[in-house]
Chains A and B, each alone.
Chain A
Amino acid sequence: MIELKNISKSFEDKKVLDNFSAVFDEGGYLLKGPSGIGKTTCILLILGLLKPDEGELNIPDNMRFAVCFQENRLFEKETALTNILAVNENVSNEAATQAICELLPEDSVNKKAGEMSGGMKRRLAVIRAMLHDSDAVILDEPFTGLDDASRDKTISFIRKYLNGRLLIITSHDERGLDDLKVISID
């Protein structure tokens, strides 16, 4: 269980999170709110990449995360396959190839991330996160730049590969995510 208790976080003089509390227990969560409200900050706090100014953050010590960052953070000079395998030691070549082909065109397997379109990169970042051996999956705006068909396909892919893990998605668009528990930041 992940618990954020009265968390506040500022950057320089701008307060991004103010006395925010939330509990992510099990199942899927949609972290919702307008742009710039602090969804990504909340994600980075959970991942331990930021420290809160105030409040309490309770996350089990041994909890392993998989994440799709808002900026993808892919190895631009490496192929889609290498991008998956570089961070997923336990995933076989075949499994990675199959997963890529489920969400991207077949010829993407050996295509360099830097040569892909924004939408393709986004899907590759989602594949990388979903294949990672973890206790929780965090997807920060995973549908940015995707058309409706790709978005639906990506949602199905996420559901298929979730395997009962805790899921936190940030998005300002709830379509297709009705079954997720909503936590609003405002």
Chain B
Amino acid sequence: MIRRMLPEMYNGGTKQTPLPTWWKEIQEAAWVDYERLPMPSRKDERWRFTDLGKLAFTGYTAGFPVPEPSRTELQAFFQRGQAPALLFANDSLLFSRSLSPEAKKKGVLLTPLLEAANGAADLLKSYLFRERVALGAEKLETLHRACATAGALLYVPAGVELEQTVDLSFWLSEENAATFPHILVVLQENARARIHLRFGSTNPKGGFACSVQELFLGAGAQLEIFTGRNWAEGTCSFDLASVRLDRDANSTSFQLNRGGGYTRTESRSRLLGPGSRSVMLSATMARDRQEFDQRSFQEHSAPNTRSDLLYKSALYDSSRTIFAGMIDVDPGAQQTDAYQSNRNLLLSPDAEANALPGLEILANDVRCTHGATIGQVDPEELFYCLQRGIPLEAAQRLFVLGFLTDVIDRIPDADAKRTLAEEIDSSLSQPRRP
């Protein structure tokens, strides 16, 4: 189903380090699981509403060499940044920029997984492939485990605040290329970090991506992670993320979704320590025949935990979105404060939004609210904009910007907020791929 090219076939890429035995064993076990697990099915509640016809697993090759024009394009993109960064294309590491000497001195580690397998083997071994997101895409998760070698480990020791944002990006350059990015973040007690994660294509059409994020937050640790997805038209992608929060840890995740063909995100927040908090935000701009299939799980396992989810989607053309969320409160998780909201703005009569908010509460002293809305532009508001001379397309852009404003406003960091607002604005000004 997915072929892998041998590292020897790399065309000027970095030479692959051989995998350690323990990792190979994980891969082999994963292949067995992969063969055993069923394909996604409409009968499975966790695939309800998904257009399974858009899922395509065959005909892709992992480890595809990156051709020169794409390499040059990515280099130009990379050189615009200044943050510590790793850039992968078709699963090979193309460019990297290291942490500041101060951060290194404090013991912060940012390294490709394959290097970590040698230099930080014990650390890697105790965290890699430990989490299971398991919101339906188990088959894909095992496929990822069987194939993933590209990716990054970010480790921040106790009490250290990493001031620089870390940029991680993963690209596809071929219609028939596959990528399996893995993002492993370990923040020790009271550590702080901010990550900008980007998924994109240099080719105009097609590709396959299956990424996993494993985020471990120690007591009092704080993480902000922004994920920008903008795969080429027709790309089939899965991004499965789990964040584990110990006592008083605090995580904010923000996803900006556009592009692609079928995009499935599974996001699990595991509030395992008392006082921990997770904010889950998403802004999606769906166009053409794109489908965004978002599943979430807010797992309250300890008392005094808070989770706050706000997913908003603007749908153009014949696009589709699916949101299925669950707030799960354990019997012991008293004083849980959980919120889940999904809002959809339909800009076309052919667009379709599906929302399945959900709660399962086994504690008795909690505050949980959830809700979903699917609405259209108010005709009076549209007339008001038109009367000011604003053409229909520009008016819709204003409505989408206005609609997404409150998600963006929830981002605590002012710079990140401005960058995201600009990114949304520019992607709306150029509705077709830049």
Do the two chains belong together in a single complex? no
